[in-house]
Structure 1
């Protein structure tokens, strides 16, 4: 597509949200999944720029190297510590939290890693359904299970678990049963964590429309095939057709929502959802 509307802008310091929070310093650790690209990378960089130590995990070692390079380019006050691993491996899920705790007090967890597969329900491969749920619902549960005791062990019990949801955690579109059901599930997991927290240990979700990430770009050809339309029509009519803001979000804009949610300014955000959808869900 000419003038590709899915190409993200450069991540700069001017695009980042900076907040004043006593916990945003190198002795505090945020564990971020999917940190090798897209929203995960932007979130890792944003949190490091705000002074945190980020335990950044992904399967893609080269992607994590790129995330560190970006943080260095922006002179981040914090640090990014890469941890390569597979979110479908229970041993890794426990180990990555233990390794994160070696860098300081683990107070924040950002479950961002995501996958997509396009097929109608009657043709959707069971193994793909299971994989999407393992990465986007089961892994966030297991990681939360291991992170919560670390938050509770801090001197004030302050911390938060932020989960990447989507407008697909509110409504469904065709050919995405694995993704949609996982995103509805992550909202339920988030509310469950909030229900068991004491108000200082919080949980929240972030629900966006389409964001300029590889996950979005990679699904466009399959969506075009399933719907029998052009790739440009997928972007303009399917992805942005019902939105009032006719532009995809930048990954850094989503990252800034995690920064806000983790900070003291998000202290009443507990079990709730930051819906940043360009007017897609609530207008007609």
Structure 2
């Protein structure tokens, strides 16, 4: 009888580096990969005690490299060693009209959201090709498919991540290595939750009005994406069932980009 690929990933023996994984989406992805059996390397900033707790929880190691520094990325990748799964999740945002957009903010966003993805990928690919197996997952955004005003740097980098992912997917198509994007809409994280009180005050709105009419205005489901949903998608993309899924941009945005 023909045995079908399981939709459940068995990542025993695989090593995963997840950038920006000490909180939010990255942490949810790290937890999901750990739950599927992968050895996880965390990257990101935070309180030393909390990072130590996360390392214990996930039986993980942590590297706090500043991803806006190419030399720091090279040192991190050398220290971490060969990896099977690379999740480029770290990112930042700034909102301003283009004529007022601080040049230093533009440079920082491009460095973290885009250039860091190039550097980690170029350094991870040789070992993946040698092993004949690898998974590269880039956290993009609904803004990789649609634009919003006052977010020129963020939207530009996320569109670029989509193109970069497609390019390396083609380059690696016969190497057993896949590359895909995950593009969330608004995800319910402590960072998003923390914005609500200030927005309530600034706009004289109730909590429900801020959530439905501001944060979820573009998500037809009127529901936040949960970090665990992004983690589950990442695990699927690492599974054998997704071995022929590459160069794709997976929306998980409550219907935002369907319009």
Fold agreement, TM-score > 0.5? yes
Structure richer in helix, relative to its length: 2
Does the CA-based 8 Å contact 2:9-2:235 persist in structure 1?
no
SS for the counterpart of 2:63 is: strand
Once residues 186 and 241 of structure 1 are traced to their aligned partners in structure 2, the CA distance between those partners, rounded to angstroms, is: 25
Residue 112 (structure 1) aligned with residue 101 (structure 2): no
Match of 1:60 in 2: 46
CA offsets 1:91-113 (integer angstroms, 9 cap, x no match)? 22112222222xxx511100011
Return the offset for 1:49. 1.5
Residue 211 (structure 1) aligned with residue 198 (structure 2): no
Q: May I ask how many residue pairs the two structures share in their alignment?
A: 250
- Change beyond 3 A, Cα 1:52–1:201: same
Does the CA-based 8 Å contact 1:114-1:215 persist in structure 2?
no
Match of 2:162 in 1: 187
Once residues 95 and 230 of structure 1 are traced to their aligned partners in structure 2, the CA distance between those partners, rounded to angstroms, is: 47
Return the offset for 1:68. 2.6
Match of 1:243 in 2: 219
SS for the counterpart of 1:207 is: strand
Does the CA-based 8 Å contact 2:178-2:247 persist in structure 1?
yes
In the superposition, the TM-score normalised over structure 2's length comes to 0.88
Once residues 109 and 204 of structure 2 are traced to their aligned partners in structure 1, the CA distance between those partners, rounded to angstroms, is: 26
Flag as ranges the 4+ runs of structure 1 deviating above 6 A: 221-225
Match of 2:16 in 1: 30
Residue range with higher mean Cα deviation, 207-216 or 49-58: 207-216
Mark the runs of 5 or more structure 2 residues left unpaired by the alignment: 1-6
Once residues 182 and 66 of structure 1 are traced to their aligned partners in structure 2, the CA distance between those partners, rounded to angstroms, is: 32
Once residues 145 and 42 of structure 1 are traced to their aligned partners in structure 2, the CA distance between those partners, rounded to angstroms, is: 25
